[in-house]
């Protein structure tokens, strides 16, 4: 049975977007580019849903996200998640440890790959700027940016039933939320 997709709660998304660790890939250390943007990967599924906890949501390049089901990539993502679990929630036998023995998984992964070491992020200056748009050429957005816009639109329409929000209103709300 496939796990159902759900979006990151707005409060958590806001925290993650302000955290410098979420500006670069936790596997390579590379920053987002127009060709290969950073996406937030839900690495832990529990009870049929994505776990909405900070340590389970990993910033990875889109090119790596496409390969997240590959066994070697999965092992690397699990190592990063275990490393980020500073409160040992994975190891709680009454919590996430019910389904998987994460302590045993950590021992296994460390025996093969050694302990996880976070990558050194590339300098911000190494990130290429977005290409300039000519007037009237439209705006190209990544799938993640569209997902954020639709999520905000859904939240706005839930808060204000009966008022359909245009894309311009949603973008205006997103921009003003960053200015506050």
* Cβ within 8 Å of residue 16, ≥6 positions away: 8, 22, 40, 54, 57, 59
d(CA 13, CA 107): 31
Partners of residue 4 on adjacent β-strands? 49
Give the side-chain half-sphere CA count within 13 A for 177: 17
For residue 5, give the DSSP letter.
P
d(CA 69, CA 50): 15
Q: How many helices (H) and strands (E) does the chain have?
A: 6, 4
- For 126-173, how does the pLDDT look when each residue is reduced to its tens digit (9 = 90+)? 444 444 444 554 566 666 666 677 677 777 777 777 777 776 777 777
pLDDT class of 122 with cuts at 50, 70, 90: confident
Residue 51's closest CA among 102, 12, 106, 1?
Answer: 12
- For residue 125, the model assigns a pLDDT of 60
- For residue 173, the model assigns a pLDDT of 72
Over residues 100-123, mean pLDDT? 89
- For 6-40, how does the pLDDT look when each residue is reduced to its tens digit (9 = 90+)? 688 999 999 998 998 899 999 999 998 888 999 99
Q: Distance from first CA to last CA of the chain, Å, rounded?
A: 41
- For residue 152, the model assigns a pLDDT of 75
Q: At what angle do helices 143-159 and 167-179 cross, to 10 degrees?
A: 90
Instruction: Count the neighbouring beta carbons within 10 Å of the beta carbon of residue 93.
Output: 10
- For 57-80, how does the pLDDT look when each residue is reduced to its tens digit (9 = 90+)? 999 999 999 999 899 999 999 999
- For residue 130, the model assigns a pLDDT of 43
pLDDT class of 49 with cuts at 50, 70, 90: confident
Angle at 105 between CA 99 and CA 107, to 5 degrees: 150
d(CA 91, CA 165): 43
- For residue 127, the model assigns a pLDDT of 47
Q: Give the residue with greater pLDDT, 180 vs 111.
A: 111
d(CA 94, CA 92): 5
Over residues 67-94, mean pLDDT? 91
């Amino acid at each position: 049975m496939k796990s159902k997709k759900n979006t990151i709660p707005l409060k958590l998304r806001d925290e993650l977007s302000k955290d410098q660790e979420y500006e670069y890939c936790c596997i390579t250390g590379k920053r987002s580019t127009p060709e290969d943007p950073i996406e937030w990967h839900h690495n832990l599924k529990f009870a049929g849903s994505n776990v909405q906890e900070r340590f389970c949501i990993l910033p990875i390049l889109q090119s790596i996200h496409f390969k997240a089901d590959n066994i070697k990539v999965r092992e690397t993502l699990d190592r990063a998640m275990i490393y980020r679990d500073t409160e040992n929630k994975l190891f709680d036998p009454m919590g996430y440890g019910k389904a998987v023995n994460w302590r045993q998984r950590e021992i296994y992964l460390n025996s093969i790959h050694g302990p996880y070491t976070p990558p050194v992020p590339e300098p911000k200056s190494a990130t290429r700027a977005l290409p300039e748009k000519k007037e009237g050429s439209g705006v190209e957005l990544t799938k993640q940016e569209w997902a954020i816009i639709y999520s905000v639109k859904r939240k706005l329409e839930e808060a204000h039933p009966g008022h359909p929000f245009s894309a311009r209103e949603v973008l205006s709300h997103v921009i003003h939320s960053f200015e506050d």
